[in-house]
């Protein structure tokens, strides 16, 4: 049974107006016309907060998380809503905040990759660096060890010669398979996007086996870790691109592929399973909260770091989660405020409009 009996509230979204019994529900569409899932994220945050609340030491964080995104103030711009004011709790495990972080990282990475491609002839490579699964209590020390290992890894002459810059994200997944011998263990790993020189696939090419030995050496471990490496391949074409020049087309499709790794690497569906507070979920929350505390999960290096700085992009991990893209400044002058608040009884965002003059 779902904790959220929204099917029984009788509220049905009508295609455009969403109005029923004087209640107008929030409907926020992105540039592609898809609905932004505020409601779904808020529900996941409430569920996450319930788990945190069950742990005494995490009660304060739970309190903040319950308030996360309760009020949202938008400005109307070109017929679309732009978030203008809100409170976000910024707790590492918050699904609402991590959604905002993901949107912000994706936006920033798109800008950075575009800028790199405009300036330099580079190619893009995805690299995944893993270690063996670990128990909950080993998670934090292992992640610390991996961060140190990364710094060694990126400092190797071989790396520096073959890599112009990188975006790196640490992700932790949990094994939920009760049949598996690794059941209940954690799998911390790095997803890395590398900008490599145009001649990388010639003279400066690093083979998968070589990446593996480099990572093993950096990690100072006595087993061969699993390392994946793949060239970024343009995503499948859409008909819109038919008219474009080959090279431009390829670049855009390549960027779409890159876009996919640009997510904030904490997936709440991997932290809590199902819609109920369970002991297993609580244990996972405890383990991950401890492991992620004060830890930076994403970082940039080389030319990507330089461009991040040059474009004056703010910190997507700990910074402002309201303004996640370009047009925040113009939005401030928008004429119409749309305020949405989380309605506990309806399990949804209800909106109220107020007209302002200028």
* Candidate list 94, 106, 214, 272; residue touching Zn ion; CB under 5 A: 94
Cβ 320 to Zn ion, closest distance in Å? Answer: 13
Note whether 112 binds Zn ion by CB under 5 A.
no
Note whether 97 binds Zn ion by CB under 5 A.
yes
Cβ 69 to Zn ion, closest distance in Å? Answer: 7
Cβ 178 to Zn ion, closest distance in Å? Answer: 31
Planar angle of CA 45, 298, 301, nearest 5 degrees: 165
Q: Tell me, letter by letter, the H, E, C secondary structure of 130-142.
A: ECCCECHHHHHHH
CB 303 within 8 A of CB 172: no
* Candidate list 58, 68, 232, 261; residue touching Zn ion; CB under 5 A: 68
Note whether 272 binds Zn ion by CB under 5 A.
no
Distance between CA 321 and CA 97 in Å, rounded? 7
* Stretch of 81-89, 260-268, 322-330, 331-339 lying at the interface with Zn ion (CB under 5 A): 81-89
| HSE, side-chain direction, 13 A CA sphere, residue 280 | 14
- Single out the residue of 212, 130, 132 nearest to residue 171, CA to CA: 130
- Single out the residue of 70, 8, 5, 35 nearest to residue 343, CA to CA: 70
What angle, 0 to 180 degrees and rounded to 10, lies between the N-to-C axes of helices 246-259 and 95-119? 150
Note whether 89 binds Zn ion by CB under 5 A.
yes
48/196 with CB nearer Zn ion: 48
Distance between CA 309 and CA 303 in Å, rounded? 10
* Stretch of 66-74, 76-84, 216-224, 271-279 lying at the interface with Zn ion (CB under 5 A): 66-74
* Stretch of 35-43, 62-70, 163-171, 245-253 lying at the interface with Zn ion (CB under 5 A): 62-70
Label residue 298 exposed, middle or buried (CB < 10 Å: 0-12, 13-18, 19+).
buried
46/303 with CB nearer Zn ion: 46
88/126 with CB nearer Zn ion: 88
Cβ 60 to Zn ion, closest distance in Å? Answer: 13
Cβ 242 to Zn ion, closest distance in Å? Answer: 42
Q: 3-state SS of the chain: helix, strand, coil percent to 5?
A: 40, 20, 40
Structure tokens given for 142: 């292992």
Count interface residues toward Zn ion (CB under 5 A): 6
* Candidate list 72, 81, 96, 227; residue touching Zn ion; CB under 5 A: 96
* Stretch of 89-97, 145-153, 252-260, 297-305 lying at the interface with Zn ion (CB under 5 A): 89-97
- Chain positions contacting Zn ion, by CB under 5 A: 68, 88-89, 94, 96-97
């Amino acid at each position: 049974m779902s904790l959220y009996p929204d099917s029984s509230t009788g509220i049905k979204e009508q295609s455009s107006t969403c109005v029923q019994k004087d209640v107008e529900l929030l409907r926020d569409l992105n540039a592609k016309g898809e609905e932004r899932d505020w409601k779904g994220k808020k529900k996941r945050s409430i569920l996450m907060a319930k788990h945190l609340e069950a742990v005494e030491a995490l009660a304060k964080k739970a309190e903040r998380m319950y308030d996360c995104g309760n009020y949202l103030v938008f400005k109307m711009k070109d017929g679309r809503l732009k978030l203008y004011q809100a409170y976000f709790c910024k707790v590492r495990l918050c699904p609402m905040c991590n959604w905002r972080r993901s949107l912000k990282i994706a936006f920033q990475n798109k800008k950075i990759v575009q800028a790199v491609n405009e300036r330099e002839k580079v190619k893009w490579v995805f690299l995944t660096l893993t270690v063996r699964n670990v128990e909950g209590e080993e998670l934090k020390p292992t992640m610390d060890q991996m961060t140190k290992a990364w710094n060694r890894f990126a400092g190797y002459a071989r790396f520096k010669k073959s890599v112009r810059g990188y975006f790196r994200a640490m992700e932790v997944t949990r094994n939920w398979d009760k049949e598996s011998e690794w059941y209940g263990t954690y799998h911390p790993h790095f997803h890395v996007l590398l900008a490599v020189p145009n001649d990388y696939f010639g003279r400066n090419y690093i083979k998968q086996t070589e990446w593996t030995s480099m990572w093993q050496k950096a990690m100072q471990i006595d087993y061969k870790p699993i390392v994946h490496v793949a060239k970024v391949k343009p995503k499948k074409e859409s008909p819109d691109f038919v008219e474009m020049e080959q090279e431009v087309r390829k670049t855009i499709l390549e960027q779409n592929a890159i876009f996919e790794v640009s997510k904030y690497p904490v997936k709440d569906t991997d932290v809590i399973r199902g819609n109920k507070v369970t002991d297993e979920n609580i244990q996972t929350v405890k383990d991950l909260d401890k492991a992620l505390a004060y830890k930076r999960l994403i970082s940039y290096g080389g030319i990507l770091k330089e461009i991040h700085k040059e474009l004056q992009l703010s910190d997507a991990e700990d910074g402002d989660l309201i303004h996640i893209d370009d047009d925040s400044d113009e939005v401030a002058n928008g004429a119409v405020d749309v305020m949405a608040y989380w309605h506990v009884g309806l399990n949804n965002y209800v909106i109220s409009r107020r007209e302002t003059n200028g």
